[in-house]
Amino acid sequence: MPSTPPPTTDLPPRFRRPSLFVWGISLGFLALFIQGVMATNVTLERLIRGATNLGHFIGRAFPPDLSNLDVLAWSMYETLNIAIVGVTLGVILSVPFALLAARNTSPTPWVRSITRLMIATMRTIPDLIWALIFVVAVGLGPMAGVLAIVMDTIGFAARFFSERIEEVHPGPSDALTATGAGRLSVIGGAILPETLASMTATSLYSVEKALRSAVTLGLVGAGGIGVELAAAMRLFNYDRALTIILVILVVVIGFEQLSSQIRKRVI
């Protein structure tokens, strides 16, 4: 019988030696971190004082003020409307953006590049900035919030839609093309049906994201319960502010659970 070689005791190295590029990036990040800590003036004294102030806030916030719960419920309902309307319009508009940005459905490379640049621009600008822009454009109220959610949703959903479209298996599309089907027929008959489950999941994530965003958009006058929260904090009505936070928490967690159940049945 052939003899088996004795087992080696040398263990493989756990980590490779970092290159000069990795060392440079690491040192640069460390320098930026240290400079950032110094620039933001993070000190133990301020942290202790902040903890004390937070304790005062919690002490004044309890018990929550439930006297105007119906008003807060209506404001939360308005926030939910802003999120749902904004996401619905944003998802519908995201589909043509995604088709123009995907490599296998875009008509020309320059159309794809321009569309991807537009999507990146909408995604890069924060939703609060969009809200401020639309407050100036259309005035205070829910309409500004809806338009801000639309722009933010297009930037978020169109990117994932386009990536999913590019991952579609070419077999069904090639089969339809071989039968003489046009571009729109191939998209509607082969590409969109295969991406529907993924698009549905992304759309549900967009609603969750928009619901949280719609709350903060109210802080700049874009309607919803964020207006009530901003007013309560400015007037130092911390018990009312705590009630608003609890209402937001219940609605957001409830919708996340509902969204999770829908995704389990769709995907």
Rounded average pLDDT per 10-residue block, the chain, 267 residues = 54 64 87 83 80 83 80 85 90 90 84 90 87 85 88 89 82 70 70 79 84 80 79 84 87 82 71
Q: Which of 224, 214, 249 is nearest to 64 (CA)?
A: 249
Q: What is the pLDDT of residue 266?
A: 65
The tokens for 151 are 């722009």
Q: What is the pLDDT of residue 261?
A: 79
| In the chain, where the domains are located | 69-266
Q: What is the pLDDT of residue 51?
A: 85
Q: What is the pLDDT of residue 198?
A: 80
For 9, list phi and psi in degrees, rounded to 5.
-100, -5
Please count the CA atoms within 13 angstroms of the CA of 157 that sit on its side-chain side: 33
Q: What is the pLDDT of residue 35?
A: 85
Q: Which of 120, 124, 130 is nearest to 150 (CA)?
A: 130
Q: What is the pLDDT of residue 6?
A: 56
CATH number of the domain at 69-266, out of 1.10.3720.10, 3.10.20.30, 3.40.50.11810, 3.30.1460.30?
A: 1.10.3720.10
d(CA 186, CA 174): 8
Q: What is the pLDDT of residue 267?
A: 61
Note if the pTM is more than 0.95. Answer: no
d(CA 153, CA 237): 33
Q: What is the pLDDT of residue 233?
A: 83
- Asked if 148 and 90 count as a contact pair (C-beta separation under 8 A), the reply is no
